[in-house]
């Protein structure tokens, strides 16, 4: 197949790419020209369903929040693989069932591990201070 034949077959892809680039350029230009230019404290204040914000928007979140969020994303993406397996369950047969079972077992093992190491705990466990470590009771020599 020569170059002219390939261009004749794939001209629509080129037109699509040019149309997308033109549309993106138009939207960016239109928003720059027509967008609001007002500045001030009220414009920069986040609007949250009519509730007046209190405090700073620059709060620190606990690392536990991000850990749970990452675990959710990981397990959510792995659920997508199971949806794909569910669609092709008849074609894969017993081999697919065994593979999916191993996959689910690995997921459960990871979830149990995360639970055991405390990755799912929101409240950290109370730490024992070094001076609170069990020490034998010292005798008061004043009574001797």
Give how far the C-alpha of residue 71 lies from the chain's centroid of Cα atoms, to the nearest Å: 8
Pair 82, 104: CB distance under 8 Å: yes
Higher pLDDT, 72 or 56: 72
Find all residues with CB under 8 Å of 82, minimum gap 6, and list them. 100, 103, 104
CA end-to-end distance (rounded Å), the chain: 108
Higher pLDDT, 113 or 41: 113
Q: Is the predicted pLDDT of residue 82 greater than 90, yes or no?
A: no
What is the percent of the chain with per-residue pLDDT over 70, rounded to a whole number?
Answer: 76
Q: How far apart are CA 52 and CA 64, in angstroms?
A: 28
Sequence ranges of the domains in the chain: 61-124
Q: How far apart are CA 43 and CA 49, in angstroms?
A: 15
Judge residue 142's burial from the number of C-beta atoms within 10 Å of its C-beta, 0-12 exposed, 13-18 middle, 19 or more buried. Answer: exposed
pLDDT in tens, 22-59: 999 999 999 989 887 777 766 666 666 667 767 776 77
Higher pLDDT, 129 or 84: 84
Quickly state the pLDDT bin for 125 (edges 50, 70, 90).
low
> Token pair of 137, please?
């009771």
Q: Is the pTM of this model over 0.75?
A: no
> Token pair of 97, please?
């069932």
Instruction: Provide the sign of the torsion angle of the four alpha carbons 70, 71, 72, 75, taken in this order.
Output: positive
**In CATH, which superfamily holds the domain spanning 61-124?**
NADH:ubiquinone/plastoquinone oxidoreductase, chain 3 (1.20.58.1610)
Q: How far apart are CA 89 and CA 81, in angstroms?
A: 12
């Amino acid at each position: 197949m020569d170059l002219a034949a390939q261009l004749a077959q794939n001209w629509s892809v080129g037109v699509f790419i040019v149309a997308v680039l033109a549309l993106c350029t138009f939207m960016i230009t239109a928003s720059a020209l027509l967008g609001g230019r007002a500045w001030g404290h009220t414009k920069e204040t986040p609007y949250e369903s009519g509730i007046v914000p209190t405090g700073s928007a620059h709060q620190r979140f606990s690392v536990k929040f991000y850990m749970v969020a990452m675990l959710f994303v990981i397990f959510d993406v792995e659920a997508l693989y199971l949806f794909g397996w569910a669609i092709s369950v008849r074609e894969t047969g017993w081999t697919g069932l065994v593979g999916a079972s191993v996959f689910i077992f690995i997921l459960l093992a990871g979830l149990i591990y995360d639970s055991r190491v405390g990755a799912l705990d929101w409240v950290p466990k109370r730490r024992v201070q070094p001076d609170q470590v069990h020490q034998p009771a010292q005798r008061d020599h004043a009574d001797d």
